[in-house]
Amino acid sequence: MWTDSVGNLIVLKRGLGGEKPKKIMYAAHMDQIGFMVKDIEESGLLRICNMGWNWAGSAYNERVIFRNGITGVVGCYGPIEEAGNRIEKLFVDIGVSGREEAEKLVKIGDCCTYFGPYEHLAGDRICSRALDDRLGCYQLIESLKENPGNLPNDIYYCFVVQEEVGTRGSKVAAQQILPDIGIAVDITPAHDYPNDLTGHNKVGKGIAVKVCDPSVIADEDVLEILEKLCGEKGIPYQREVIDRGGTDASSMNLTGSGVRTSGICVVTRYPHSQSSVVSAEDIEGGIDLMNAFSAFSDWPF
C-alpha cells in the first residue's frame, strides 16, 4: 500500500499466480467537483471558476462548503435563466460585509464543494453529494475486504485523484502499474427521468458494464467476460453507452503499449449535483462483479 507524489492511494493484493495471471487495476476517484475562488470583490462576494464540470442551474441557490468549514450560498449576477451554463455568472456569498472580512476566512485559490448530506429515500434509494465517486471508493474498499488472498491475479485497488479535471491521477497510477486490464469503477448518468440526456441507463436495473463513452471503447474480450460473469453469478446488469462524459478507463486504456479496459458503473440520477440518487442494490451488484472478475482465470488473451 503506497501513496504516490500526486496523491493516489494504491493498494496491491497479490495473487497466487497460475497459467495466465493478470495484473488487474481498478480505479475509483477520490476527488469531487466544486469551485475555486478566483477573486474576492469589494462587497465580500467570491467570484468562482469550475473545478470539474458543474451545471450553473443546479448550483444556483445551493450551499457550498470550504475545507476549513466555511459555508456559503451560490448566487447569480442577474437572472439564472440568462446565465446559460456560464459559471462566471455565479458567485458565492459567505455572509460577510466586505473584502477585508472575507479574506480572513477564504483565500484566492481555495476550493469549495456542494453541501449535500447523505439521506435514505424510499426503498433502496440513497441520496448524497459526491456519490461520484464515493460509490466507487466504497466498492473498492468492500471488494478489497472480501479478497481472500488466494486469487490467481494481482489486484490493484487504486483510489485516484483529479479524475474530474482530466483523469490525471489514473494516468500516473497506471504508468506505475502497467496493468493488463484496467476497470474504471465509477458512476454513469441515468436516462430514466426527465433530463437533457438520452440513453438506456436505469436506476435499480443492475450494475452498468461499460461498452462505450466519448473517451473510450471497451475491450470486447473484457466486456464479454464481465457479461458472462454477471450471468453465471446472477448479477443484474445493463450495458452502458453514453455520449457525454468519460472515466479513468480512458487514461488506463492509453497507458504503455495499451491496456484492455472497461468499466463497472453505478447508474446515477442528478449526477454532479448536491443530491445524486442511486440504488443500493446496484452498488452491491458492482462489488459482486468486481469479486468475480478478480477471481477469473480463463483468460482468452
Estimate to the nearest angstrom the gap between the alpha carbon of 236 and the chain centroid.
21
Helix (H, G, I), strand (E, B) or coil at 27: strand
C-alpha cell at 176: 506505475
Which residues lie below 8 Å from residue 298, measured CB to CB, with a gap of 6+? none
3-state secondary structure of 84: coil
Separation CA 38–CA 149 (nearest Å) = 48
Cα dihedral sign, 44-47-52-58: positive
Euclidean distance between CA atoms 66 and 228, whole angstroms? 44
Query: If DSSP codes are grouped into helix, strand and coil, which group holds residue 277?
Result: strand
Instruction: Report the alpha-carbon distance of residue 289 to residue 208 in Å, rounded.
Output: 10
Give the three-class secondary structure for 127. Answer: strand
Q: Three cell numbers at 20?
A: 495466465
| Separation between Cα atoms, residue 10 and residue 3, nearest integer Å | 6
Task: Enumerate the active-site residues.
Answer: 163
Instruction: Please report the DSSP string for 200-257 in residue order.
Output: S--TTS-EEEEEEETTEE--HHHHHHHHHHHHHHT--EEEEE-SS---THHHHHTSTT
Q: Which helix (H) or strand (E) holds 280?
A: helix 280-294
Amino acid at 253: N
Q: Are 56 and 87 in contact (CB under 8 A)?
A: yes
Grid cell, residue 46, equals 467570491
